[in-house]
């Protein structure tokens, strides 16, 4: 019996079990930080409010919680949206791509394949007076730490709901886009990479969000079964994704002054600037799929989990954009009322030919910098009494930690495959593809959660554009 993975930060997922029925658990090796492992947890029993905590440890509830690897062993499809069916041989998860079924207890399939499954225990913590879910640990790796624990999506909320704060949608649909426009301009691509190019070429922000949601849903549920690596793209990803003509795009130094959130005008300017960043972030998630999807590392194609992770990042960024856009409207203004810049995309262009550089500069420099500044922004909005904006900003910050984690996961994956040191390689990529020093103060706690220890980024200077004297 392998050791069990303890609850995250001393707190189990017992409280989450009362709100959702499926969760993604991402693990990182304590011995080899470049090694990650993703599990999916299914809860099949219905828990009433009174049962969700007090009775969680009962055997009948524990027997209805299952853990297995998050991807299908056939071709790597995401199992987060697998159908659960009760068959003659027991409960099975059915892969959405090719309908392969896997026993939730044993992992065996009638096809002869086997998915890894992990024993689940619910243990009482008498000191804290609560119960927590413990999951059998994958073998090897010198022990694992939980670096991400999140519901799969609001599709599995229990009971079902449509909270705008959770999914960024309103009952009327996507902010700023009518269903007729979506239908009229929505050809359905046949591969994930073609979908990525379509989204990148979409100027309308609301339509970009809707297409992102449709692509993510189609990929997870098996309606989009091909990544598209074996097919030539009908058109390449754009050098710069287009924007609506009404957007006022200026140089980074010419944007509207934001202030420190002490006034309504300042808070609007800050939220508008963040919405602009989130719109570019949607494009960056899809660009890494479209531009680098055919990448081979030591002759091997990128694994399906790479694509699942960046689809999730793109979906998160679209949620963030929608929440910020709606918040601006609640404050009496609109997205597009202020000038914006494309500074973030300049780094995308600088790293357009190197997946390693892209992961480092966009996700482990720029996005990690967001982890440093977000807490200060949140504190300023709290001081101003703008608690609705605080709730939005806290959602964004929580998600961004997982995005930096994704950057670390796939950068260290490349380094492992190429047998190079991640820290040495990161520092070289920053010197070659970034201009200026990585400035503190650093949010070391959240950076560590994402895998970024100080030896990655302390005392590091980008030298892009620098002129070195000869001699």
Query: Which is more confident, 271 or 160?
Result: 271
Q: How confident is the model at residue 44 (pLDDT cuts 50, 70, 90)?
A: confident
pTM: 0.87
Q: What is the pLDDT of residue 5?
A: 56
**pLDDT tens by residue, 98-131:** 999 999 999 999 999 999 999 988 887 777 677 7
Per-residue pLDDT at 160 exceeds 90 = no
**pLDDT tens by residue, 82-91:** 999 998 888 9
Q: Edge-to-edge, what's the strand order for the sheet holding 22-29?
A: 117-118, 65-69, 36-43, 22-29, 144-151
Q: Could you give the 3-state DSSP secondary structure of residue 414? A: helix
**pLDDT tens by residue, 244-285:** 999 999 998 888 889 999 999 999 999 999 999 999 999 999
**pLDDT tens by residue, 343-379:** 999 999 999 999 999 999 999 999 999 999 999 999 9
Phi, psi (rounded to 5 degrees) for 69 = -60, 150
Phi, psi (rounded to 5 degrees) for 213 = -65, -40
Query: Which is more confident, 60 or 149?
Result: 149
Q: CB under 8 Å to 108, separation ≥6 — which residues? A: 102, 114
Q: What is the pLDDT of residue 175?
A: 44
Concatenated DSSP letters for 194-219?
Answer: HHHHHHHT---HHHHHHHHHHHHHHH
Per-residue pLDDT at 47 exceeds 60 = no
**pLDDT tens by residue, 288-341:** 999 999 999 999 999 999 999 999 999 999 999 999 999 999 999 999 999 999
């Amino acid at each position: 019996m392998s050791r069990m993975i303890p609850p995250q930060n001393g707190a189990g997922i017992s409280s989450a079990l009362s709100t959702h029925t499926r969760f993604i658990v991402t693990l990182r090796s304590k011995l080899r930080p470049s090694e990650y492992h993703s599990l999916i947890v299914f809860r099949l029993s219905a828990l009433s409010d009174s049962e969700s905590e007090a009775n969680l440890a009962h055997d009948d509830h524990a027997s209805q919680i299952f853990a297995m690897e998050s991807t299908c062993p056939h071709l790597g499809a995401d199992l987060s949206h697998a159908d659960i069916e009760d068959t003659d041989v027991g409960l099975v998860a059915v892969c959405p791509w090719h309908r392969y079924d896997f026993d939730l207890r044993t992992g065996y399939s009638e096809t002869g394949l086997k998915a890894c499954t992990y024993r689940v225990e619910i243990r009482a913590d008498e000191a804290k007076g609560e119960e927590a879910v413990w999951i059998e640990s994958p073998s090897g790796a010198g022990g694992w730490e939980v670096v991400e624990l999140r519901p799969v999506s609001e599709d599995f909320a229990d009971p079902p709901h449509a909270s705008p704060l959770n999914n960024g949608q309103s009952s009327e649909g996507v902010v700023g886009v009518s269903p007729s426009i979506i239908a009229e301009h929505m050809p359905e691509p046949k591969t994930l990479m073609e979908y990525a190019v379509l989204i990148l070429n979409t100027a309308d922000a609301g339509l970009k969000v809707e297409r992102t949601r449709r692509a993510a849903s189609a990929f997870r549920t098996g309606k989009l079964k091909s990544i598209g690596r074996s097919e030539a793209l009908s058109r390449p990803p754009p050098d710069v994704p287009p924007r609506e003509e009404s957007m006022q795009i200026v140089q980074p130094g010419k944007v509207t002054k934001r202030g420190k959130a002490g006034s309504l005008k300042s808070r609007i300017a800050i939220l508008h600037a963040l919405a602009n960043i989130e719109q570019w972030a949607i494009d960056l998630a899809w660009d890494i799929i479209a531009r680098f999807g055919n990448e081979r590392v030591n002759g091997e194609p990128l694994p399906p989990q790479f694509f699942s992770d960046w689809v999730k990042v793109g979906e998160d960024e679209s949620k963030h954009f929608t929440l910020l856009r709606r918040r601006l409207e609640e404050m009496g203004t609109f997205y597009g009322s202020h000038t914006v810049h494309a500074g973030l995309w300049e780094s995308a262009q600088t790293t357009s030919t190197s997946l390693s550089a892209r992961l480092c500069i966009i996700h482990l420099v720029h996005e990690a910098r967001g982890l440093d500044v977000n807490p200060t922004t949140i504190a300023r909005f709290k001081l101003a009494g703008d608690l609705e904006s605080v709730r939005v900003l806290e959602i964004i910050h929580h998600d961004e930690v997982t995005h930096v984690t994704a950057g670390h996961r796939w950068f260290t994956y490349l380094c492992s495959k190429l047998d190079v040191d991640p820290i040495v390689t990161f520092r070289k990529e920053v010197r070659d593809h970034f201009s200026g020093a990585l400035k503190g103060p650093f949010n070391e706690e959240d950076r560590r959660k994402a895998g970024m220890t100080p030896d990655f980024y302390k005392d590091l200077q980008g030298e892009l554009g620098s002129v070195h004297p000869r001699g």
